[in-house]
């Protein structure tokens, strides 16, 4: 019995030493500074998982959608720069609308008011996001897509080889 207690105490001491060493090296600070949005993203994904495994009711899809979208938004901003939030602010509206849309989509009977409201708010958030992105360099990408689509419509797709009919 004494050997097991000593082994357990030894493991505890080694783990405590590793935690202190990693803390002094700044590992936990780095993880905390850069990956804190996972505190929102992981619960959002888990709530989706619980619903689709039929462990909870449909109502959990509202916070699941909000947490997932906000977690992804904050992770992107945290890794690339918070200046992006000046252009991605409509994603906050999108998160709420997506949560409501998921709830309305999977609830039976479908709540018509929530369903139509969520689609309208989703559309508004997408239009606002598109408008804010047009004020950035995204307009050049959009112009290039329009040019390529026009060229594709003018010249059309390649004609299929009629010899093998």
CA-closest candidate to residue 107, choices 57, 73, 150, 148: 57
Rounded to whole angstroms, the Cα distance separating 98 from 91 reads 10
State the Rg of the chain over Cα.
25
The DSSP annotation for 60-85 comes to: GHHHHHHHHHHHHHHHHHHHH-GGGH
CA 7 to chain centre: 44
The 10 Å Cβ neighbour count of residue 51 is: 19
* Contact yes or no for 60/51 (Cβ under 8 A): yes
* Residue count of the chain: 165
Rounded to whole angstroms, the Cα distance separating 8 from 74 reads 40
**Helix, strand or coil, per DSSP, at residue 107:** coil
Rounded to whole angstroms, the Cα distance separating 101 from 114 reads 7
Joined tokens for residue 44:
């959002």
**Is the pTM higher than 0.75?**
no
Per-residue pLDDT of the chain (165 residues; tens, 9 = 90+): 566 788 888 898 998 888 888 888 888 888 778 888 999 999 999 999 999 998 889 999 999 999 999 999 999 999 898 998 988 999 999 999 999 999 999 998 889 899 999 999 999 999 999 888 888 777 888 889 999 999 988 887 666 666 655
Long-range CB contacts for residues 136-139, cutoff 8 Å, separation at least 24 = 136/87
């Amino acid at each position: 019995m004494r050997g097991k207690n000593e082994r357990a105490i030894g493991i505890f001491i080694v783990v405590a030493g590793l935690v202190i060493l990693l803390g002094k090296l700044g590992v936990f600070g780095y993880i905390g500074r850069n990956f804190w949005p996972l505190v929102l993203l992981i619960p959002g994904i888990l709530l989706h998982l619980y619903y689709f495994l039929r462990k909870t009711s449909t109502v959990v899809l509202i916070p699941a959608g909000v947490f997932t979208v906000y977690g992804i938004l904050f992770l992107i901003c945290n890794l690339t720069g918070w200046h992006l939030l000046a252009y991605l602010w409509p994603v906050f509206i999108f998160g709420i609308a997506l949560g409501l849309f998921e709830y309305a989509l999977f609830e039976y009977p479908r709540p018509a008011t929530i369903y139509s409201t969520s689609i309208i708010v989703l559309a508004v958030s997408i239009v606002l996001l598109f408008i804010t992105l047009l004020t950035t360099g995204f307009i050049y990408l959009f112009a290039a897509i329009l040019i390529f689509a026009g060229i594709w419509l003018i010249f059309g797709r390649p004609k299929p080889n009629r010899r093998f009919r």
